[in-house]
């Protein structure tokens, strides 16, 4: 089966060149010109590998990677940049990327990186299937009192009670629970949960209704009540224990 690749670059010539190189190798390729379009595409389409430019107007490459890591963690990512720096490389690697290439990368470099990334994805998927069966281990959290938070099904169970979460509530809870004790700023959470960038001033207003609805659902479960904690003037964290 042909692999699906998404090319994200605001430069038309670079975007077309990458697309042509990959299509000639037999890949199914889609291309978009900005980070917002990339996020929207990945929310609605299966993407095996994404090649994303670092410097773009609006959402830059690192911000796109943050969102994709949450919404499509199996997608392999190659970051392309003309602005190579140790700081950017380190930051990108922390965000779980497959490779980091300096522009202009040769067709041979690009294809070698793409094939290696797709090979890694196949191995990881096979390993996950062997270890966890049909469910990913990180999708299910079983708390001390027996409460089960199933993020793949977006539902919480305790004894005879079941509560269902909306997609946005599920994404928010996943981010917080998978990063127990870590404080996320309002702006980071809007980017990761809703998929768009906003100002630090506007972000709390956008986030507050979503957090309120999620907390209301969690309140009925003793092990989850008051676990989503507000950090004054900064953001939110999930307080385990």
**pLDDT of 156:** 95
For β-strands 235-238 and 49-53, DSSP reports them as: unpaired
Give me the phi and psi of 18, to 5 degrees please. -60, -45
Which residue in 231, 213, 226, 129 sits closest to 171, CA to CA? 213
pLDDT tens track for 172-204: 998 898 888 888 889 888 877 876 667 778 888
The runs of H, that is alpha helices, within the chain are 12-24, 35-44, 61-71, 86-94, 107-132, 167-178, 186-189, 203-218
CA distance 21 to 29: 10
Cβ neighbours, 10 Å, residue 198: 16
pLDDT tens track for 56-92: 888 888 889 888 888 888 889 998 887 656 566 556 6
Domain range annotation of the chain:
4-132, 137-238
CATH entry, 4-132, from 3.40.50.620, 3.40.50.2300, 1.50.10.20, 3.40.50.20: 3.40.50.2300
* 153 close to 200: Cβ distance less than 8 angstroms: no
Query: Which is more confidently placed, 175 or 97?
Result: 175
| Domain 137-238, CATH class in plain words | mainly alpha
Average pLDDT on 107-112 reads 92
Cβ neighbours, 10 Å, residue 62: 19
Q: Enter the pTM of the model.
A: 0.56
């Amino acid at each position: 089966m042909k692999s699906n690749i998404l090319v994200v670059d605001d430069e038309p010539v670079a975007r077309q060149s990458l697309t042509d190189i990959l299509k000639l190798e037999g890949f199914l390729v889609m291309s978009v010109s900005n980070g917002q379009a990339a996020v929207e595409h990945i929310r609605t389409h299966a993407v095996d590998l994404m090649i994303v430019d670092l410097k773009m107007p609006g959402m830059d490459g690192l911000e796109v990677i943050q969102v994709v890591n949450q919404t499509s963690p199996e997608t392999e990512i190659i970051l392309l940049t003309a602005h190579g720096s140790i700081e950017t490389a380190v930051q990108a690697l922390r965000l779980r990327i497959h490779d980091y290439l300096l522009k202009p990368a040769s067709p041979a470099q690009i294809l070698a990186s793409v094939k290696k990334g797709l090979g890694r994805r196949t191995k990881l998927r096979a390993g996950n299937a062997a270890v966890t069966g049909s469910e990913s281990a990180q999708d299910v959290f079983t708390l001390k009192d027996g409460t089960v938070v199933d993020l793949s099904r977006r539902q919480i169970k305790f004894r005879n009670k079941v509560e269902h979460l909306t997609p946005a509530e599920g994404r928010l809870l996943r981010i917080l629970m998978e990063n127990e004790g870590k404080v996320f700023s309002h702006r980071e959470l809007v980017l990761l949960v809703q998929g768009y960038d906003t100002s630090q001033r506007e972000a709390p207003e956008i986030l507050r209704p979503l957090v309120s609805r999620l907390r209301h659902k969690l309140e009925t479960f003793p092990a989850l009540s008051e676990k989503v904690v507000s950090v004054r003037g900064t953001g939110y964290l999930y307080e385990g224990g």
